[in-house]
Amino acid sequence: MAEYTYEQLHAMKVAELRDVAKGIDHDALKGYSTMHKEQLLPGLCTALNIHVHHEAVGAEKPRIKATIRRLKARREEAKAAGDHGRLAETRHQIHVLKRRLRKMAHA
């Protein structure tokens, strides 16, 4: 079995990851042939005993999305009230959070 780093695995396509998983018998890789990359990558890391600190990043996603929903409600209130200053500030905050989400998806 070849040694891989997280970066090497992350750079691979799903088909390549499935080829790597094919030769490994581990509970984390049961059903590897139907897994998507977001499921297959952590399973391979577990099976190959690769410790990764990057996994916690996804835990922030639901919190950011909830914040965006609250900001959208605040944006509508500011729009209805005609408060252009608060409207601009809220739009900027939404923009920043959406960019953070996109950056997390490509990390």
52: three-class secondary structure by DSSP: coil
Asked whether residue 75 falls in the same domain as residue 90, the answer is yes
- Give the torsion sign (CA, 54, 60, 62, 64): negative
Residue 56 has pLDDT above 50, yes or no: no
Looking at residue 107, its pLDDT comes to 60
Asked whether residue 68 falls in the same domain as residue 85, the answer is yes
* Residue 74, domain extent: 59-106
Asked whether residue 35 falls in the same domain as residue 74, the answer is no
Tell me the pLDDT of the chain averaged across its residues.
Answer: 88
Q: What is the signed CA dihedral for 78, 81, 84, 87, rounded to 10 degrees? A: 10
Decide if 1 is inside a domain: no
User: Is 47:24 a contact under the CB 8 Å cutoff?
Assistant: yes
Kindly tell me the burial class for residue 97, based on how many C-beta atoms sit within 10 Å of its own C-beta (0-12, 13-18, 19 or more).
middle
- The radius of gyration of the chain from alpha carbons, rounded to an integer in Å, stands at 20
Asked whether residue 48 falls in the same domain as residue 67, the answer is no
Domain total for the chain? Answer: 2
Decide if 100 is inside a domain: yes
Decide if 76 is inside a domain: yes
Band (105; pLDDT cuts 50, 70, 90): confident
Asked whether residue 67 falls in the same domain as residue 88, the answer is yes
Decide if 24 is inside a domain: yes
Q: Is the pTM of this model over 0.75?
A: no
Asked whether residue 64 falls in the same domain as residue 100, the answer is yes
Decide if 39 is inside a domain: yes
Domain end (from 36, 52, 68): 52
- DSSP annotation of 53: S
